[in-house]
Amino acid sequence: MANALPRTTANILSAQTPQTPDQHKILLIAQMTSGNATSGALVEGLISEEEINNAFGRNSQMAKAGRDLMKELSISRVRPQVSAIGLTDNGSGVSATGTVVFSGTATEAGSITVYVDSKENGAYKLDISSGDTATNVGDALVAAITANLDSPVTAANATGTVTLTAVNAGTQGNTIGVGKAGSVAGLSVTSTALTGGATDPVLTTLFDVVDDSRFNSIVYPAEWGISTLTDFTESRFNVDDNILDGVGIVSVTDTYANHNTALDALNQRTLAYIPNKIVSDADHKGGAIFESPIVIAAQAAAYRGLRLTVGSNTSSIVTNGEGTGGFFFGGIPYHNTPFANLPTIETGDDFTNAEALELENSGGWLLRNNPSNTVVISNEAVTTYKTNTLGNPDITFKYLNYVDTLSLAREYIFNNLKADLSQHILTTGKLIAGRPMVNREGFIAIMMGYYSVLSGDNGDNSYVLLRAGAEERQAFRDALESVAINLATGTITAESIANIVTQVRNVIINITPTFE
């Protein structure tokens, strides 16, 4: 190279752009059958139903939940990341069994639809001819179930008694519902719910593979016992030098009384519990929402993920006109979110309004029909948190929106403090121009800048998680008066407040008649 003077160096430096919260991530946990995944391993970057089927076995509980999750996320090109941990059956596991019993001989042509596990994915329409015997119809049901490669049950017929056996052993099989619609003269149909599933996978090291990975939403089988999940999520709510918090989402099918007892015993900031009322009548044995509990939980996780993913398509899951997801959704209510792919609840099968109110007060996130009974919609999304460590009533983490808002605000501040104070000099004196330094006043100025972003006071509406306005800014500034600097340890300690926005839940208007 020819020598040319002056010697010149031109470096390209970082633009120092503001840091944002990390991308939303969903973790699925369920049982697998066959597949290329290793039991207990973390499988990351799942993007399609085919990948789910190949990894975990398409007739498994995992694949069932994963396919539905992918279906819900498919409305958007921009979507949250999906990972999964599949577990093989316990070697001592027992599969749940149930029956569909046909008796008599058809005296007319017609059809009967049998539902197994799901009205959406487990509907078997049986076309019946006059003269068909119970054995004929039983054989037709077995053939239909066998032809469904996604079926979570196998079927065998003996003179009209069709025995259904859960593919996965363990208690998840006990949640598989059975129902029917339609009738044909001369032929009767009865069913028994799947029961007897026992001995779940060993969970001792379940979360070891997660290590320092953060998952915002964790879909988990409640039948395994919730404590393994909540012990993990609660321990990660506040940790040193990291952001690891996430919310476990479960759905449980049971009686009102059992739901209420279970919810009253729970008090977790990081658990969303969706109660589904158990139904047992001639035509329906299973959840009032006729869908697998883990699928219901997966749909809730999908909608939460889309809401909080920047740039996602949310047009079909909101009723307020916000068609694109983003961090600002932390402050937007979950209630009235339509769950269009869940079957509506049959009249008389749902909780009463009084029961629903009690369950919500106890920490249950309810999904119920809209007033016209055309679609299932979300009630207020609550966690099971009710009291603080002293046992006093506390609403700080009662609503999932509050958890979303506080978590996003914390993560924004955490990420930007990491970036803005990297390799900085700490001083109690004045700042010297041209040097990366921070003192008490500089730290307060940095924090006030974050407040402007998180509240939208700076004109950017990307967050709107904290309340904008002069009075609110001053309250935040006053709290920061506690800033203390320890030069010996290089520590800045400060107290702060979060003036979070809340959600419109009640409107009270008094109308007084007048005759003037």
Domain ranges of the chain: 25-88+203-378, 97-195, 421-516
Q: Is the peptide bond before 6 cis (omega within 30 degrees of 0)?
A: yes
Note the CATH number of domain 97-195.
2.60.40
Contact (Cβ atoms closer than 8 angstroms) between residue 216 and residue 22: no
CA distance 267 to 362: 9
Distance CA 151, CA 169 (A): 14
322 contacts 329 by C-beta, under 8 angstroms: yes
What band does 17 get if pLDDT is binned at 50, 70 and 90? confident
- Kindly write down the DSSP assignment for every residue of 209-275, as one continuous string: GTTT---SEEE--GGG-THHHHHHHHHTSS-TTS----EEEEEEEE-HHHHHHHHHT---TTEEEEE
- pTM for the full predicted model: 0.95
CA dist 447 and 444 (Å) reads: 5
- pLDDT digit string, tens, across residues 289-311: 999 999 999 999 999 999 999 99
Residue 66, pLDDT score: 97
| C-alpha angle 417-419-422 in degrees, rounded to nearest 5 | 95
CA distance 35 to 439: 57
CA atoms of 196 and 71, how far apart (whole Å): 31
pLDDT score, position 7: 76
Tokens of 182: 């339609």
Q: Mean pLDDT over residues 35-40, rounded?
A: 95
Could you report the per-residue pLDDT of 436-447, keeping only the tens digit for each?
999 999 999 999
pLDDT of residue 14: 66
Contact of 307 with 503, CB cutoff 8 Å? no
